[in-house]
Every structure is written in C-alpha cells, then in structure tokens.
Amino acid sequence: MARLVIMGAGVAGHTAASFASDWLGKEHEVVVVTPNSQWNWIPSNIWVGVGEMSKDEVVFPLAPVYEKAGVDYRQAKAVSVHPEGKADSDAPYITIEYTGQDKEGQSEELTYDYLINATGPKLNFGATPGLDAGHTVSVCTADHAVHANVELENLIEKMKKGEKQKILIGTGHGMCTCQGAAFEYIFNVEHKLKEEGVRDMAEITFITNESFLGDFGMGGLHFKVGGFVTSSKVFAESLYAERGMNWIIGAHVNKVEAGKVTYELLDGSAGEAEFDFSMLIPPFAGVGFTAFDKAGEDITSKLFAPNGFMKVDAKYDAGAYENWKASDWPRTLQNPDYKNIFAAGIAFAPPHIISKPMSSPNGTPINPTPPRTGMPSAMMGKAVAASICDMIKGKTNEPTHTASMSEMGAACVASAGKGLFNGTAAAMTVYPIIPDFEKYPGTGRDLNGTTGEIGLAAHWVKHILHHAFIWKAKLKPGWTLIPE
C-alpha cells in the first residue's frame, strides 16, 4: 500500500484528492492535510461581499465529503518537509500541527510515498504597512467577504442619508496577483449601489498594479470584436468608462492608513487616495514551509523559491524578459530533486511573471504576478494526481500527464453584477494562458481560442458554474463528468 499525502484542500488539492481516491480505491491511502474545516468556492466570495449570497452558500464542511470518499482527512497545517527522512529512517515525511479534530496544537510526523504541495497562497497582508490594520476589507476568504459586506452596508446607509462616499478597490501592493477578484468586486459594488439607488452618491476608483487596465497578470489578451483584433485594455477601460469609474494604474500601494492610501506610480511619482470604503487584495506568498535533509540540515532553498513557492520542472534561469519562452513553464509539476514531490495550483513556483516586468525609477517593482487560480489549478491538480496514480500502480516511473499553463487555456467569467435578468458578467477565454509568441506571432495567443464579451448570458454561466463546481467538490453523483 502506498500513501499519497496532499497538503492543501483548495481547488488544486481537493481536485487531486478527489480523483486520486477515486482512481486508487482502497488499495492505497490518500491523506489530505489542511488547516481548514470547510471548503470554499472562492469565486463566489465576490457575491458574499455584496450581500448577494450568504457564507453558507459558498462553503461546506470537508470531513463528511472525505469520509465518503475514503480520504484520510487531517485538519492540520503542514509545517516542514523532510524528503530524505531522518537519521534512523529513510521514509520521507512531513510534520503537521493540528488545528482541529480535538487535537489543536498537537504535532505529528506523517510519512508519505508521494507528496503534493497544493497549499495555495499565504495572504501576505503584512507586505504593505497598514494593510492588515483593519482600515480596508478583503474578499479573499468567505469570512473576509462577510465582513466586507457589513462595511458596505454601513456605507450604503450613509449614502442613503445623503453623505457622499469615496470607494477605492484594487490591489494593495505592487506585486499582487488576482486582479480579477478586484475587477469583479468593483463592478459588483457599483451594481449594488445602482440597485440601492445611491450610485450618484459614490465616487468609485480602481487602483491596480497593472501597467494597463486589462493586463490581468497575463500581459493582457487580444480577441476579435466587430472586425477588429481588440486588446483587453480597450475592453476593460470601456467597462470602467461606461460606468463612470476612475482608475489609477501602475500603482504600488506602500501605506494604508485610516481613510487613506499612499502609493508610488511607475513613473516614480507619489500619490494619495482617500476612501470611506476600500477593498484591497493583498499580495500572495508561499505558506512558509521549511525543509530538512536526512542530517537535519535546512534545505528550504533547495525545495522552495525565495517567495516560498515550490520549485518544479520550470526553467528558473530564463533571464531577461526578451529571453522568456512559453516552454519555460512547468509541464509535469514534479520537483527536480525529489521525484515523489509535486506542486499544483498557486503553490508551484512560476519561472517568472507573465506580464512584462516593470519598476519605478526608484527601483520599486510594480507588476502583477502570475494568476494560477481556478481552472488552471484544477487541471494541474488532476494531472498531478493522474501521474502519481500511474506511478503508484507501477505503470511508469515518470509523470504521465502534463498541465502546462503554456499548453492550456483558461475560461474566466468575471461577474459585473448579480441578477437573473439584469446581471452581467464578462466571459473571457484565453488560449494559451502563457503567451507563445513563437507559435502565435503578434499577440501570443490563438485568436480562435481567445474571446471576450459581456452580458447576461455570461452571468448565467457564472451562476451555473457556482452550483456545478460545488456539486463536483461535494463529490455528488456524476461529479467526474463536470470538467475542471
């Protein structure tokens, strides 16, 4: 019997655990280690953050699902990785510290034959002074979104009393990713204000580390509209302009105070923005594991990149932007030194960012870091699980499945307001996620696979996806038929 240990139960980890337990059956052991007791369909946190959904609609308890699937669920956080075992044992193991199951604070060693790191990110609120001080809100977790909605409701009450309010939504650091979440939230807030009849009482501004609106951390995208090949810059700017919303681009928020942020722009100038309500996305970092060899020497830098994400089969020495290629991106997601360790989702270390690197004249890097949430995360989790299952069953010693972001597309449905007949969303497909300028000269993407439009139909798609993915995550009948 082999044991597969999966650290993390987000989109990548839960997908890997679900498929691995299905494919391996009872002959082998699948163990999931996550500090969380609940699974969260994060894309719908946006709707929680504007009061259109309750927390209960976007989360469910993990324990019964894993019990049904035969997965050994440990509510614990992984602390360290020991890929060579220890002095008296060659068995690789991780150390975990329980956060629930009536074992809070207890530590344990958990041996593995194969390990998947799918821990997702650490929400690095500490990277920007004041971002963790409660002056702003976030929608990164369901609880954060509930709090955001409470604050938004208070704001709406003030507007109904005739007080004009300033709203600032965007990224809280120059190295943030997940601009899509901020994008969705600002449009949902604007939609909510219209529904409440107070839109004219709010001045709404988007602040972003993107060098242009519509970069989305992917260097933007192009698609065919009305006989033109149009940039996502025009698409995104149009959406903001149509709604009378302002934007600040190329901004590194360097300080958050009560009612005010200060920021540095790509041209080196400094600025301030005042707010009565602000939702700022924090930057992401690896969760901060340590790793040790058999002798107990620290090998964290061997297993993890300086940002805390795990090294895999990527080309980490690609050099300057001019040398970057789509093939720099990992395919098997296997660690090069320890072949029984894989990383999936946000947890793997990208070889470099996707957007062109930029910094201010003061040397401050201001560019989005690569998005790898949602569909890519799920596809990586499934591919890694498939490779490991083949290896466990003795079919091969090498990974049999790949999930390179340079060979896969992504579908993104960004809500712009919820409502069965008056909701809208932007539906975008991009192929491939990593622009391949050798294969697709000019825009780097297949114009037949890269599309964008806004409308009610996309909202319906988003709403259906909400229910479909929660159905799938609960492993209800037919879950394997729902694609990633």
Partner 1 sequence: MATEHVKHIEAYSPQFGTMIPSGFQKWLRTCVLWQLVRFVAINIKMTMLILKSHH
369 binds partner 1 (CB under 8 A): no
Preceding amide of 432 cis, omega within 30 = yes
Q: Is the CB of 244 or the CB of 296 nearer to partner 1?
A: 244
483 is a site residue for partner 1 (CB under 8 A) = yes
**Phi then psi dihedrals of residue 99, to 5 deg:** -120, 0
Which helix (H) or strand (E) segment holds residue 192: the answer is: helix 179-195
CB 2 within 8 A of CB 113: yes
Which of residues 269 and 362 has its CB atom nearest to partner 1 in the complex? 269
Q: Which stretch binds partner 1 (CB under 8 A): 86-94, 181-189, 274-282, 453-461?
A: 453-461
Instruction: Name the segment binding partner 1 (CB under 8 A); options: 110-118, 176-184, 250-258, 450-458.
Output: 450-458
Strands of 286-383, DSSP E: 290-291, 341-343
Is 334 a binder of partner 1 (CB under 8 A)?
Answer: no
Out of 411, 443, 447, 471, the only residue in the binding site for partner 1 (CB under 8 A) is: 411
Give the separation between CA 420 and CA 407, rounded to whole angstroms: 35
Q: Which of 54, 107, 422, 480 binds partner 1 (CB under 8 A)?
A: 422
Dihedral angle sign, alpha carbons of residues 156, 158, 164, 168: negative
- Restricted to residues 243-272, the positions that interact with partner 1 (CB under 8 A) are 244, 246-247
| Calpha distance 248→41 (Å, rounded) | 29
Question: Which of these segments, 153-161, 190-198, 277-285, 454-462, binds partner 1 (CB under 8 A)?
Answer: 454-462
Backbone angles phi, psi at 324, to 5 degrees: -70, 140
Tell which positions 189-248 bind partner 1, by CB under 8 A: 234, 237-238, 240-242, 244, 246-247
The answer to whether 408 contacts partner 1 (rule: CB under 8 A) is yes
**Strands 246-248, 202-207: parallel, antiparallel or unpaired by DSSP?**
parallel
Stretch that binds partner 1, among 16-24, 65-73, 337-345, 427-435 (CB under 8 A): 427-435
Quick one: which segment of 5-13, 31-39, 147-155, 425-433 binds partner 1 (CB under 8 A)?
425-433
Question: What residues numbered 283-312 form the site for partner 1, per CB under 8 A?
Answer: none
449 interacts with partner 1 by CB under 8 A = yes
Would you count residue 453 as binding partner 1 (CB under 8 A)?
yes
**Residue 451 in contact with partner 1, rule: CB under 8 A:** yes
427 binds partner 1 (CB under 8 A): yes
* 457 makes contact with partner 1 (CB under 8 A): yes
C-alpha to C-alpha distance for 414 and 425, rounded to whole angstroms: 5
Q: Tokens 């192009």 label which residue?
A: 222
Q: Which burial class, exposed, middle or buried, applies to 421 when counting CB atoms under 10 A from its CB (0-12, 13-18, 19+)?
A: exposed
Q: Is residue 390 near partner 1 by the rule CB under 8 A?
A: no
State the amino acid at position 135 in one-letter form.
H
Residue matched to tokens 């909510």 = 192
User: Does an H or E element contain 472, and which?
Assistant: helix 456-473
Whichever of 130 and 376 has its CB closer to partner 1, that residue is 376
* Interface with partner 1: number of residues (CB under 8 A): 38
Interface residue with partner 1, options 424, 444, 472, 473 (CB under 8 A): 424
Neighbouring residues of 404: CB distance < 8 A, sequence distance ≥ 6: 329, 330, 331, 434
Residue count (the chain): 484
Residue 140 CB, shortest distance to partner 1, in Å, is 25
Q: Which is nearer to partner 1, 64 or 483 (CB)?
A: 483
| Assigned token pair, 44 | 């719908």
Distance CA 213, CA 163 (A): 30
| Contact footprint for partner 1 (CB under 8 A) | 234, 237-238, 240-242, 244, 246-247, 379, 383, 401-404, 407-411, 421-422, 424, 427, 429, 431, 449, 451, 453-458, 460-461, 483-484
